[in-house]
Amino acid sequence: MKIAVIGTGYVGLVSAACFAELGHDVIGTDVVSEKIDKASRGIAHIYEPGLEDLLKTNLKKGNLSFSLDLDETIQSSDVLFVCVNTPQKEDGSADMTYVEGVSKRIAENLNDYKVVVEKSTVPVQTSMWIKRAIDLYKKKDKTFDVASNPEFLREGSAVSDFLNPDRIIVGVETEKAKDIMIKIYEKYKDRLLVTNIDTAEIIKHASNSFLALKISYINLISELCEKTDANVELAAKGMGLDERIGSQFLRAGLGYGGSCFPKDIRALSRIGEDLGVNMNLLKEADRINLKRIDVFVEKIKKAIWVLKDKKIAVLGLSFKPETDDIREAPSIKVIKRLLEEGASLSLYDPKAMENVKKVFPEKPSQISYAKSPYEAAEKANVLLIITEWDEFRELDLNKIKEVMANSIIVDGRNIFEPAKVRELGFEYYSFGRK
């Protein structure tokens, strides 16, 4: 059985490498030649721990390859995993142009029976549309099945998430497709849940939205903690000890970003409303999340009053640690607000600076990029923590204090112990705790 992965972005490239690692014969394809050139040489165009090792090992073994030729890739494969992106449109719905485009190409190149598997996060009923599109454009005597196999990997731990999954969800409508999917995931058959296609699609969207809800919930509680004498971290710990609640995704702070949560919660709201279901619960979670940026900027103002002409050191730009991804990153929104107020920024991130430079190019006296957290902190009136990279937890705060103009930290991710930082002589602001 030959597997094709169409679209080698964050999800596709990891999936291609991991399917090969599971022993399958895999070919990855993308419209961007640079991504294919790099992947063919074992280089990942994104930063993802462990990915390049897997690419190199499996390219060498000979069961992984990459090609720019979509038609040939489709024709020579039995199972096609669609991993192209589904950007958010202005009304919050997902733009399905790329998925439709790929479906059409699959139809035109359908030479034998194939299973077309949707792996991207897509609105419920997308597979039905893919099926319809392929049916419309294929030759009459050719057969195929569609399936949904949503991906649950998290950026920053994508390879280990893929290779050690909590569950594999497979949505199918025929026994033939079911058998093929079970064969692909043979190794994980104890963790496989087979459903119909609509259910599989809902599981993915509903899981992401639930986790986003959980984060907004703790952020709401964090506001309540700030108005009282409570401590949000201990509150989260106490809540999390209840197994029904669980301790994960209860970290208060700047809120969720990334390519999934913000987009998925809006898309699911949109789908629900289109189907006549009141989705206010999800809309409220989105509103709370957007408000985190205002709350953070207010904290900075409370610390240093007027922002105009102040020097601000910004540590952490990626939407979460261990990735270079800045899609929907809180940093982008914060930076925009600070620039509007006339502040001068010195930015630092271990992996995401090249991506941020494309959005905010270097500009003398307004935006500079530092080589280290210490360089960013030089002469700064305030230091902001936006992403909780381990590197920041291990900072030599005495050294930071020496180089800053004012010893003030506003921590968007609660990475420091308030008492300890204050003992070192810092004024310290964080979320949901005094």
Interface residues with ligand UDX (CB under 6 A) are 7-12, 30-32, 35, 83-86, 98, 101-102, 120-121, 151-155, 208, 211, 215, 249-251, 253, 255-261, 263, 319-320
Single-letter amino acid, residue 13: L
Indicate the residue among 142 and 154 with the shorter CB distance to ligand UDX.
Answer: 154
Indicate the residue among 145 and 151 with the shorter CB distance to ligand UDX.
Answer: 151
Residues 6+ apart with CB under 8 A from 359: 326, 332
User: Looking at residue 94, what DSSP letter applies?
Assistant: B
Indicate the residue among 149 and 344 with the shorter CB distance to ligand UDX.
Answer: 149
The distance of closest approach from Cβ of residue 190 to ligand UDX in the complex, given in angstroms and rounded to an integer, is 20
Active site residue 260: yes
Q: What is the spatial distance between Cα 63 and Cα 42, in angstroms, rounded to a whole number?
A: 13
Q: What is the spatial distance between Cα 211 and Cα 40, in angstroms, rounded to a whole number?
A: 35
Sequence-ordered strand ranges (E) for 263-396:
311-315, 344-348, 367-369, 382-385
- The strand pair at 382-385 and 408-411 is best described as parallel
What residue spans of 109-166 are helical by DSSP H? 126-137, 158-163
3-state secondary structure of 322: coil
The distance of closest approach from Cβ of residue 28 to ligand UDX in the complex, given in angstroms and rounded to an integer, is 10
- Tell me which of 18, 83, 225, 260 is the catalytic residue: 260
Q: What is the spatial distance between Cα 331 and Cα 350, in angstroms, rounded to a whole number?
A: 14
Residue indicated by tokens 């963790």: 191
The distance of closest approach from Cβ of residue 431 to ligand UDX in the complex, given in angstroms and rounded to an integer, is 10
Burial of 420 (0-12, 13-18, 19+ CB in 10 A): exposed
Q: What is the 3-state secondary structure (H, E, C) of 219-238?
A: HHHHHHHHHCCCCHHHHHHH
Indicate the residue among 58 and 289 with the shorter CB distance to ligand UDX.
Answer: 289
Indicate the residue among 81 and 348 with the shorter CB distance to ligand UDX.
Answer: 81
The distance of closest approach from Cβ of residue 250 to ligand UDX in the complex, given in angstroms and rounded to an integer, is 6
The distance of closest approach from Cβ of residue 221 to ligand UDX in the complex, given in angstroms and rounded to an integer, is 12
Indicate the residue among 149 and 407 with the shorter CB distance to ligand UDX.
Answer: 149
Count of CB atoms situated within 10 Å of the CB of 224? 12
The distance of closest approach from Cβ of residue 350 to ligand UDX in the complex, given in angstroms and rounded to an integer, is 15
DSSP string, 301-326: HHHHS--TT-EEEEE--SSSTT----
Residue 137 backbone class (left: φ over 0; alpha: ψ -120 to 50; beta: rest): alpha
* Residue with the CB atom nearest ligand UDX in the bound state: 9
Active-site residues: which are they?
260
